[in-house]
Amino acid sequence: MTRTWQIATATDAARARIAAAGLAAAHGVSVLDRTRLAAELSGRLRQCLTKGGTWRLTLEPDPAQGLLHAVVERTPGTDAAGEGPWRATVPCPQPMDTVAVGDPPDDAELLAEALLGADEDAALVLGKLAEQEDLVAFHREELHQTNQGVLALHAELDAAGRAQREAFAAERAARQEAERARRRLTFLADASAELTASLNHDEIVRRLPQLLVPEYARSVDVWLFDGDGERGERADGAPTVPHPAAAVIAARTGRPQYAADHPGALPGVDDQPPSALDPLRPLLCVPLSARRAPLGVVTLSPPGERWDPDDAVMLIELFRRASTAIDNARRFEHNRDIAETLQRALLTDLPTTPGLRLAARYLPATYGLNIGGDWYDAFLQPDGSLITVVGDVTGHGLHAAVMMSQLRTALRAYAVDGSSPGRLLTRLHEFLHHLQPDLYATAVIARFHPDEATLTWAAAGHPPPVLRGPDGRVRILDDKPGAMLGIPLRQEIADHAVPVAPGSTLALYTDGLVERRAHGIDPGIGRLADALGDFPGAELARDLESAADLILPPLLSDSERDDDVCLLLCHLAGSS
């Protein structure tokens, strides 16, 4: 229910405030809300008394919302222009019509006592405030401890972050060093392969600066020795220059030397004073040593201020491998010169026979050892027959050339008794098998008789002869040949005969002319047959030497040949 009080004096205001506080307490309004309502109401009532006149305090319940509304306004009929009511609202858990609360007493003492008792709410609020302050202090301490923990955690996280960054930096440095090591190993492998790919020591020397400048050296000088003394060879082909003292020491001691105005700190390298020839430039002098004797010294200047120690170790290893490559190349060149001299000496001039012209071509391989066992020969038998032969001993080098010379000599000896081509090859087979059981050869022999229009031939594991008739038609003489000479097999190699007419041309050759690894031998034989058939007969009759020169190039399109090439052309004089 709604309660109303009229207020005109301070006593009225006190009694109304006490009654309002009592009603609020009776209806379950909390101490804090009750104290707030009393304080705000007291302040409003003081303002009302100051303004004078009659005022009315109304407490109005709102059961639906559970609220208690307090309203202070002028008594109706009082002139107060612009003066609006004052309102305050507090939660009211208990409906007002269920509670009976009396008005404050009129006695002044009792009224004073009631006013003093009203301060109990303030005391309760202050007590709760003290509790809240203690709670705030407790939470403040908790917050401080939490902040200290957070700061410690931040410090730990920062330390962990620094440790992680340091670990990342160490990992990055290790990865970079591993990458540099990988690059060195890759360079060493690639450079070694390039140096050992050549069997020409001058080419190896020329490749060294190409490999090292500018990444690992600013300049490269190679000083090589020979068997009779010493000779200076610069890798760039420039004239010989005086050698630094460190290079002389390296040549004498066989140890790498570093010449500079500061210590090199390079593993396995001796330090020397700066070179008098170029005192401002550091020099690394590495000896080139072979199994039998020193080969020379390589002198380098660094690409920057100085060398990285790991780069210096890699360079020393590279020059060790270069020494082996140069030594192998020199030994190969020495053996090749001997073999080539022997082979050229055995390829004698062809005989001159009436009614028959001969032209031969021999080309050594351009790749590998160069000298093989290919050979040709032509000689007369006692009955006037002309024996022509082309053979090929397996293998290359001096051993193959020596074996080829023995077969050539044996064939000439066996042919003295007038044996046929098949019988000659059979005897060569037996000779080779007993002389060199692990060495094999192929050969083809053709015999021309001046009184016969028949060509007799025999082959042992060799590409078939190609015969061009006077009309330009070409025939490949591929009748069943014998097996290779020298294999562990007893064999009798058969003779074959074919009629020939004046103007015919016979081509004997080795597999180096017609065989290519990618295509086999049959396509090459076909190309030779086509080239021989397309060649003008008049040219063959007039100049067989020039014809041999013109037939070879289309068949040898490859610039690199790993086998020797031998071609022997036999042309019967007559109408072409």
List the chain domain ranges.
3-117, 201-339, 347-572
Q: How far apart are alpha carbons 249 and 230 in whole angstroms?
A: 15
- Please identify every stretch of the chain with a pLDDT value under 70, giving residue numbers as ranges: 78-82, 94-123, 227-241, 339, 342-346, 366-372, 396-397, 557-562, 575-576
Rg of the chain over Cα atoms, rounded to whole angstroms, equals: 60
| pLDDT value at residue 500 | 94
| pLDDT value at residue 455 | 95
Indicate the pairing of strand 67-74 with strand 55-62.
antiparallel
Q: How far apart are alpha carbons 283 and 43 in whole angstroms?
A: 102
CA 333, 334, 337, 342 dihedral sign is negative
438-489, pLDDT tens digit by residue? 789 999 999 999 888 899 999 999 999 999 999 999 999 998 899 999 999 8
- Residue 392 contacts residue 380 (beta carbons within 8 Å): no
224-283, pLDDT tens digit by residue? 987 544 544 444 444 456 889 999 999 999 999 999 999 988 999 999 999 988 888 999
Domain 3-117: CATH class, spelled out: alpha beta
| pLDDT value at residue 64 | 81
Q: How far apart are alpha carbons 459 and 412 in whole angstroms?
A: 17
Q: From residue 41, how far is each of 112, 166, 257, 400, 405 by CA, in Å?
A: 18, 69, 106, 132, 140
| pLDDT value at residue 109 | 63
| pLDDT value at residue 95 | 60
- Residue 508 contacts residue 390 (beta carbons within 8 Å): yes
What is the model's pTM? 0.54
| pLDDT value at residue 576 | 40
Q: What is the fold, at CATH topology level, of the domain defined by 347-572? A: Phosphatase 2c; domain 1 (3.60.40)
| pLDDT value at residue 568 | 96
Q: How far apart are alpha carbons 469 and 118 in whole angstroms?
A: 149
Q: Say which CATH architecture domain 201-339 belongs to.
A: 2-Layer Sandwich (3.30)
Indicate the pairing of strand 466-468 with strand 454-460.
unpaired
Q: What are the φ and ψ backbone dihedral angles of 529, each rounded to 5 degrees?
A: -60, -40
DSSP labels for 221-265?
A: EEEEEETTEE----TT-PPP-PPPHHHHHHHHH-S-EEESSS---
